[in-house]
Amino acid sequence: MTQTGGMPQSMRSIMGWVLGIGVIAFILLILVIIFGNLQGNVGFGRESSGFINESISFTTAGTTPATADNRVNGVLTNVVVINGSAGSHEVVPTNNFTVTGVLILADTSSSYVNSTVNATGTVTFDEQGLIDSNSIILNYTQSAVNTSAQFPTVGTIIGIAILLLILIALLVFVIVRMMGVAGGTGSANLSTSGGKNSFGGSDRGFS
């Protein structure tokens, strides 16, 4: 196992991975924050779609025209209701219904309740880019909240993992140093074998 600057290569690799993941997470967080703050300035917003004479049930519980169905944050405007079932195509007075979001609700006192009518109007809603960006921001924020709520448990696990990594790295470092010392001692012993003693004689016997 190689060392650089007294630190085991395995420890350097671990530190590199941890640092790299941390940098990536930080960059993603910054991008999400910037993306969220500037989403209205990069083309994401709301769009509108008109509909004409869409058949709906005129009920007090409310009915959503097909064009406005499943629209995120949808709002109906300029709604005109026509009584198409009577054949006269008479316009239903506005005091006979109310509009809430994408729902057209018949008034309980209206004579048109539970009849089939035609609705014309405009629905305004969030476009897909805005929906996607809001979803990313919401998910990231929720993840941060959940992580904070579980921080004692998560922090303990992370702390134990880091401690184990440090202990393993130290153990590897000590083993490598001990092997290096042992190798150096062995080489020194081999270099003195076969030499002369302090009296200038040979170690193999007296000449």
| pLDDT confidence band for 177 (50 / 70 / 90) | confident
Q: Give yes or no: residues 63 and 17 share one domain.
A: no
Q: How many residues does the chain have?
A: 207
Q: Are residues 104 and 66 in the same domain?
A: yes
pTM for this entry:
0.49
Same domain, 100 and 52: yes
Three-state DSSP class for residue 124: strand
**19 assigned to some structural domain:** yes
Same domain flag for 114 and 173: no
Q: Summarize pLDDT for 90-148 with one digit per residue, the tens.
A: 899 999 999 999 999 999 999 999 999 999 999 999 887 676 766 766 666 666 666 55
| CA gap 32, 130 in Å, rounded | 13
The first and second tokens of residue 92, run together, are: 């239903």
pLDDT digits (tens, 9 = 90+) for 53-102: 999 999 999 999 999 998 888 999 999 999 876 566 789 999 999 999 99
Structural domain contains residue 158: yes
Domain count along the chain? 2
92 and 147 belong to one structural domain: no
Does residue 207 carry a pLDDT above 50? no
**Within a domain: 148:** yes
On whether residue 112 sits in a domain, the answer given is yes
Q: What is the tens place of the pLDDT at every residue in 185-201?
A: 555 555 555 555 545 55
Please report whether residue 202 resides in a domain. no
CA distance 163 to 167: 6
Q: For residue 46, what are the CA distances in angstroms to 37, 71, 74, 99, 157?
A: 16, 11, 9, 19, 44
Evaluate whether residue 121 is within a structural domain: yes
- Please give the pLDDT value at position 83: 87
Do 99 and 143 share a structural domain?
no
Asked whether residue 111 falls in the same domain as residue 145, the answer is no
In terms of domains, do 33 and 63 share one? no
Cβ–Cβ under 8 Å, residues 68 and 57: no
In a shared domain, residues 35 and 51:
no
Same domain, 71 and 118: yes
Distance CA 120, CA 104 (A): 11
Confirm whether 84 is domain-assigned.
yes
Task: Give the number of other CB atoms < 10 A from CB of residue 106.
Answer: 25
Final residue in a domain of this structure, among 66, 93, 126:
126
Considering the domain architecture, whether residues 119 and 77 belong to the same structural domain is answered as yes
Two structure tokens written together for 28: 């993603």
| Together in a domain, 85 and 146 | no
Provide the residue type at 13 as one letter. Answer: S
Task: Please say if the pLDDT value at position 165 is more than 70.
Answer: yes
pLDDT digits (tens, 9 = 90+) for 24-48: 767 766 666 655 555 554 556 788 9
Confidence of residue 1 (pLDDT cuts 50, 70, 90): very low
Q: Is position 96 within any domain?
A: yes
Domain of residue 99, residue span: 46-126
